[in-house]
Amino acid sequence: MADSPQAPARSHERPPVYVIGGGPGGLAAAVGLEAHGVRAVVLEKSDHVGTSWRGHYDRLHLHTTRRLSGLPGLPMPRHFGRWVARDDVVRYLEKYVEHHDLEVVTGVEVTRVERTPDGPGWLLRATGGRELTSAAVVVATGYNHTPHLPDWPGASTYTGKLLHAGEYRSPAPFTGQDVLVVGAGNTGTEIAVDLIEGGAARVRIAVRTAPHIVRRSTLGWPAQRTGILCRRLPVGLVDRLAVPLGKMSVPDLSAQGLRRPDTGLYSRVREGAIPVQDVGFIDAVRTGKVEPVAAVTSFDADAVVLSDGTRVTPDTVIAATGYQQGLQDLVGHLDVLDPATGRPRSASPRTPSLPGLHFTGYTNPISGMLRELALDAGRIGKAVAAQLPS
C-alpha cells in the first residue's frame, strides 16, 4: 500500500479519482474505475483495509453465499466454504488489493468534500492539512460506520454495564452472566445465540418490532437467491407469498413471546429492515434458551424498564441498535443527504447526487450487500469514465 496520497501515476494521464473508504465497497469501486481506464486512489483512515470487518464479533459469517459475494475480478476461494467467516473476508480483501494492484493510501482521513472554487471538480480536505482535487469522488465509508445508541432516559446513570454490539467480540467475558440483548435484527439474534452457547447464565432479547425470520438455506437453496428474485417482483406480491412460506418454514413462536410480524416481509425490506437469517435463533427461542421480552423504554439505577412495565436487572445490556452512516460532517453541507436517515438521497451510481459525486454501500439490500457493491462498481466506473473529458 502507498503511504502518502502523492503516489506516482501508473499509465494514466488524468489526475486520479479518489475513493473514500477501504472496505469492500471502496475497493470494488476502485476496480470498477480502473476497468474503465480511470486511475483510482483509495483513501483509508485506518492502517488496514476492511477495518469494519476486523472489528465484527468472532462468530460472524456472511449470510450470503461465497459464490454470490465475490467482488469484481476475483472470486472468493472455494476453501472458504459456503458461508464465509469474518477472518476469511478480511483475508480476501487484503488479497483483493494485491491481486488488482490497487493504490490504497492508509492513515489518511477525509474530513470534508467540497466543490472546487474554480470549476466543476471536487476538493477533499484530509488529515495533515492535505487538500486533494479530483474531477470525481466516490464515497464508500460504509453502512456500519458509527454505532448508534438510542437516547434512553436514565441510560447515563445506569449502574449496570451497557455496551453497543459493536464492542462485542465473543461470549467469554459474559460467562455465567445475565445478559439482555436489545434489538432483534441479524446482529442481535446472532449475539444472543452466541452468548447462550458460550456459557451465559441467562439471555433475554428485547424486541421492539417482531422481525421476519427466514432460514438461511432450505434444501440447499439459499435465502439470498430468493432475495435476488424478489427484487424484480411487486412489493405486494412478495408480501403475500411470504406469509404461507414463512408459516411452513418457521414455527409459531408466539407462546415464547415472539409473535409473527404484522407487516409484510418486502414492505419491511423497503423500509430498511432486512429479515433475520436463522443461525440457531429459532431453536434457542423455541427451547427457552433465549427469552424474548418487551422493548426497552428507559433505565432506572440498576434496572432496565421495559414497555410492558417490567423491570429487569441484568448484569450486562448489549445494544444491537444499529449504526449511523456518519456522513453529515463529510458531505452534509452539500444537501445530498436524507434528513430522516442521514443516508444519500440518491444511492444509484446511474444518478449521482451531484455530478461527479458517487456513493456506494449505503443501502441494505435483500439480495446481499457484497453482490450489490460488485454491481455498483461497474456502474460507477462507466459513469465516471463517461463524465471525464477525453
Residues 381 and 366 in one domain: yes
**C-alpha span between 38 and 387 (Å, rounded):** 11
Give the pLDDT of residue 142: 84
Q: Which domain holds residue 233?
A: 148-319
Residues 124 and 249 in one domain: no
C-alpha cell at position 135: 474531477
- On the question of pLDDT at 344 being above 50, the answer is yes
Residues 234 and 248 in one domain: yes
Residues 108 and 239 in one domain: no
The total number of structural domains that make up the chain:
2
User: What DSSP letter does each residue of 179-227 carry, written as one string?
Assistant: EEEE--SHHHHHHHHHHHHTT-SEEEEEESSPPPEEESEETTEEHHHHH
Residues 235 and 285 in one domain: yes
Residue 94 lies in a domain: yes
Between residues 233 and 203, the one the model is more confident about: 203
Burial class (CB in 10 A: 0-12, 13-18, 19+), 339: exposed
Residue 12 lies in a domain: no
**C-alpha span between 51 and 21 (Å, rounded):** 9
Give the pLDDT of residue 347: 55
Residues 338 and 255 in one domain: no
pLDDT in tens, 70-100: 999 999 999 999 999 999 999 999 999 999 9
Give the pLDDT of residue 390: 65
pLDDT in tens, 106-118: 999 999 999 998 8
pLDDT in tens, 29-52: 999 999 999 999 999 999 999 999
Nearest to 260 by CA among 242, 234, 238, 272: 242
